[in-house]
């Protein structure tokens, strides 16, 4: 596995590809890719354009592509239509704690799976991999009943606490990386009398920083995008996340065409934090994806 | 490898035993958070959902054992359940292979030495970071029957445009289009898989006179098959659970044409509070997903090529 990561890395670095296309094929490929790029960009462009339109222009057909005048106030209006600052705060708080929980637990558990031997460990590893195909919907009802019994419904705890017990996908991911770290490093530390806990915290965690950042970002994307769990667990409107607020907003205004500029502004605002994170951390996104991609 | 702190020979057997015991203890210490979480959030719920499927339970009163009543109801008396199942299968059967095909095509294009590969890749990946709720809102407006930009573009090319979410025949294709927008992750993983194929295989195939298509058929597709298999399994499991798009865009309509499995289950559990019936539905979904992944695994030895 580790060799394959290295191979991918060198291939990417060298830009090693099957064949260099000729000029004609080159142009053809660009032609196709540009059309696809336009299709992929269209939802973003349409959202941005609509979000800045006057209400009357929203209703015009054929559509006005470049809004005039540009109505920045739509964003103010959209984000005060419902107390969005509260929803941003809620979503950010949940996300931050889930990231901490997922990164800590994944790296902790992965150390056990990757570096320590015990009878039954491999069996448990297979069990963990298998749980990835258990549909979320199957676990949802009993989990709901459990949290209801614990009086946790309408708190953020049902969304946060499970992250501290480890997400199999992330554990797997970190385990693959830990297996590539030379055994001599931990042996040397053991000789010096370091406990396994210290080896994990002082050797493994610092060495796996890029991987931990990658899963932190994935965890962020997951929780920021989540809908079903917040919908079920957060019924009190002061506890909503942004996604739930968007859904409520469309319920309230969906039939009314003239509110679509505000809808688009709110949607854009919900995407914005992820875009910022993506801009800063794109390297880790694609690196992470490459690492997961080697699962064979 | 002799180490400096090797114990005296006569003590070594005992010391090694206790060392391996210590290691096992540490190992389980590190596994314990997951193990506990597994019991509470996965294994426990699976047992509970199986049990609750045989009860009538409205959350407020204790579950009441009703035997197979819920299952009999699901399979003989629930017209909507059949519709739901067919809707979900329709979605999975088109969306999953469609996504793999689009991802493969785009990855093949991006695996050439053209300019701006990075920019294209970023753009195709970008939808992945849009929350499903936001994307649902965007596509509702994009595919608006009278004012949508897609209608206008189709008008320009003289193509009659469908009513999308107002037409029960076009509502599922509309949601499938949205699912295709989320092809980025699959594409990036496939691209990594493509870059993992050793070039000497292509060179050997070229020397043997294989053209582009034959190279793709005899080298690329077999060599990529472990990646494709992984993506297929993950795709099947996630697409069977499609929920958010339909919940926000159509609420299952028009005429129940987008009433998908988990949406229907959600209604039973959290609108009607019929937890027993919903649990039986969840159990059926679990068996269904297990069967489908099992079949996929069963076929894998015929088409998934592992390097040895």
What is the DSSP annotation of A46-62? HHHHHHTS-HHHHT-SS
- Chain B interface includes A218 (CB < 8 A): no
pLDDT of A21 > 70? The answer is no
Residue A296 has pLDDT above 50, yes or no: no
pLDDT of residue A246: 92
Protein fold of B75-303: MetI-like fold (1.10.3720)
Domain coverage including residue A148: 82-253
Q: Does B300 touch chain A (CB under 8 A)?
A: no
Question: Residue A268: is its pLDDT beyond 60?
Answer: yes
Predicted pLDDT at A284 = 75
Residue A17 has a pLDDT of 43
Helix (H, G, I), strand (E, B) or coil at B65: strand
Mean of pLDDT values over A73-102: 92
Residue A232 has what pLDDT? 95
Interface of B with A in 13-52 (CB under 8 A): 20, 23-31, 33-38, 40-42, 44-46, 48-49, 52
Q: Is residue A233 part of a domain?
A: yes
pLDDT at residue A286 in the model:
66
Taking an 8 Å cut-off on Cβ atoms, the answer to whether A225 and B132 are in contact is: yes
Query: Which A residues 36-95 touch B at CB under 8 Å?
Result: 36-37, 40-44, 46-47, 50, 58-63
Cα A100 to Cα A102: distance, rounded to the nearest angstrom: 6
Residue A16: per-residue pLDDT:
43
The domain ranges of chain B are 11-52, 75-303
A28 touches chain B (CB under 8 A): no
Res A254: pLDDT: 66
Count of structural domains, chain A: 1
Q: Average pLDDT of A27-50?
A: 92
Residue among A212, A76, A134 at smallest CA distance from B287: A134
Picking from A20, A138, A224, the nearest residue to B282 by CB comes out as A138
Domain membership flag for residue A105: yes
| Contacts with A, B 62-91, CB within 8 Å | none
Q: Which long-range contacts (CB under 8 A, 24 or more apart) does B291-297 make?
A: B292/B236, B292/B240, B293/A133, B293/B233, B293/B236, B293/B237, B296/B229, B296/B232, B296/B233, B296/B236, B297/B233
Indicate whether A257 pLDDT > 90. no
- The residue of chain B nearest to residue A277, with distances taken between CA atoms, is B129
Does a structural domain hold residue A21? no
Q: Does A198 touch chain B (CB under 8 A)?
A: no
Chain B contact set for A270 (CB, 8 A): 131, 133-134
Nearest to B245 by CA among B186, B173, B190: B173
A268, part of any domain: no
Element (H, E) at B170: none
Closest CA to A109 of A52, A163, A42, A67: A163
CB contacts under 8 A, B 198-257 vs A, are 199, 202, 215, 226-227, 230, 233-234, 237, 240-241, 243-244, 247-248
pLDDT of residue B113: 83
Q: Is residue A235, in this structure, part of any structural domain at all?
A: yes
Mean pLDDT in order along chain B per 10 residues (308 residues): 45 66 93 96 95 92 92 93 96 97 94 87 90 94 89 90 92 96 91 87 87 89 91 93 94 92 95 94 96 94 80
Q: Of A34-48, A280-294, B13-27, B143-157, where does mean pLDDT reach its minimum?
A: A280-294
Judged by CB atoms closer than 8 Å, whether chains meet at B133 and A200 is answered as: no
**Any idea what the CATH number is for the domain that residue A129 is in?**
1.10.3720.10
What is the model's pLDDT at position A129?
A: 92
pLDDT at A214 over 90: no
Residue of A240 and A282 predicted with greater confidence: A240
Is residue B56 helix, strand or coil?
strand
The answer to whether residues A95 and A225 touch, using CB atoms and an 8 Å cutoff, is no
Higher pLDDT, A283 or B62: B62
Query: What distance in Å separates the CA atoms of residue A118 and residue A122, rounded to the nearest whole number?
Result: 8
Structure tokens at B260: 């998908």
Q: Is the pLDDT of residue A77 over 70?
A: yes
Percentage of chain A with pLDDT > 70? 88
**Least confident span in A139-153, A272-286, B243-257:** A272-286
pLDDT bracket for residue A293 (50, 70, 90) = very low
Tell whether A237 is covered by a domain: yes
- Residue A268's closest CA among A52, A37, A36, A39? A52
d(CA A63, CA A47): 13
pLDDT at residue A282, rounded to an integer: 77
pLDDT of residue A2: 47
Q: Give the residue from A6, A28, A241, A30 showing the smallest Cα distance to B244.
A: A241
Residue A265 lies in a domain: no
- Average pLDDT, stretch A85-109? 95
In a domain, A108, yes or no: yes
């Amino acid at each position: 596995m580790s060799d394959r990561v290295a191979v991918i890395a060198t291939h990417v670095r060298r830009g090693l590809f099957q064949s260099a296309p000729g000029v004609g094929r080159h142009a053809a490929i660009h032609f196709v890719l540009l059309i696809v790029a336009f299709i992929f960009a269209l939802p973003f462009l349409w959202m941005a354009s609509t979000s800045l339109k006057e209400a009357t222009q929203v209703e015009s057909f054929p559509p006005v592509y470049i809004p005039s005048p540009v109505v920045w106030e739509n964003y103010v209006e959209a984000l005060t239509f419902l107390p969005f600052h509260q929803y941003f705060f809620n979503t950010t708080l949940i996300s931050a704690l889930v990231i901490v929980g997922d990164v800590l637990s994944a790296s902790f558990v992965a150390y056990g799976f990757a570096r320590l031997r015990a009878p039954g460990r491999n069996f448990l590893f297979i069990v963990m991999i298998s749980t990835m195909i258990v549909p979320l919907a199957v676990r949802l009802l009993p989990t709901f009943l459990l949290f209801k019994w614990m009086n946790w419904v309408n708190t953020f705890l049902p969304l946060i606490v499970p992250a501290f017990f480890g997400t199999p996908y992330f554990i797997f991911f970190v385990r693959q990386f830990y297996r590539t770290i030379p055994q001599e490093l931990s042996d040397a530390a053991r000789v010096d009398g370091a406990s396994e806990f210290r080896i994990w915290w002082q050797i493994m965690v610092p060495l796996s920083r890029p991987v931990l950042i990658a899963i932190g970002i994935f965890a962020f994307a997951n929780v920021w995008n989540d809908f079903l769990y917040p919908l079920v667990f957060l019924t009190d409107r002061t506890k909503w996340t942004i996604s739930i607020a968007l859904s409520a907003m469309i319920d309230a205004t969906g039939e009314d065409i003239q509110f679509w500029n505000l809808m688009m502004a709110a949607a854009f605002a919900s995407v914005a934090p992820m875009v910022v994170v993506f801009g800063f951390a794109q390297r880790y996104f694609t690196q992470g994806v490459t690492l997961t991609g080697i699962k064979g | 490898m002799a180490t400096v702190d090797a114990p005296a020979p006569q003590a070594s057997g005992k010391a090694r035993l206790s060392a391996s015991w210590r290691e096992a203890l540490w190992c389980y210490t590190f596994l314990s958070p997951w193990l506990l979480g597994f019991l509470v959030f996965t294994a426990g719920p699976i047992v509970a959902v199986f049990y609750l499927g045989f009860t009538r339970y409205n959350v407020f009163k204790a579950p009441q054992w009703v035997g197979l009543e819920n299952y009999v109801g699901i399979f003989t008396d629930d017209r909507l359940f059949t519709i739901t199942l067919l809707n979900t299968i329709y979605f999975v059967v088109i969306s999953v292979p469609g996504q793999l095909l689009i991802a493969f095509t785009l990855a093949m294009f991006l695996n050439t030495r053209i300019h701006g590969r990075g920019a294209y890749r970023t753009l195709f990946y970008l939808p992945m970071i849009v929350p499903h709720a936001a994307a649902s809102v965007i596509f509702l407006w994009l595919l608006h029957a009278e004012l949508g930009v897609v209608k206008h573009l189709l008008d320009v090319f003289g193509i009659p445009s469908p009513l999308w979410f107002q037409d029960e025949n076009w509502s599922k294709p509309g949601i499938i289009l949205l699912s295709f927008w989320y092809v980025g992750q699959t594409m990036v993983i496939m691209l990594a898989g493509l870059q993992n194929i050793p070039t000497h295989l292509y060179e050997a195939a070229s020397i043997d006179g294989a053209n582009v298509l034959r190279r793709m058929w005899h080298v690329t597709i077999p060599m990529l098959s472990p990646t494709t298999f992984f993506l297929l399994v993950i795709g099947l499991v996630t697409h069977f659970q499609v929920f958010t798009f339909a919940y926000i865009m159509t609420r299952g309509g028009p005429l129940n044409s987008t009433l998908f499995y988990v949406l229907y289950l959600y209604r039973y559990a959290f609108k009607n509070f019929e937890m027993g019936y919903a649990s039986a539905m969840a159990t059926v979904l679990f068996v269904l997903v297990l069967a489908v992944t099992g079949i996929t695994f069963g076929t894998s030895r015929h088409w998934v090529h592992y390097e040895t």
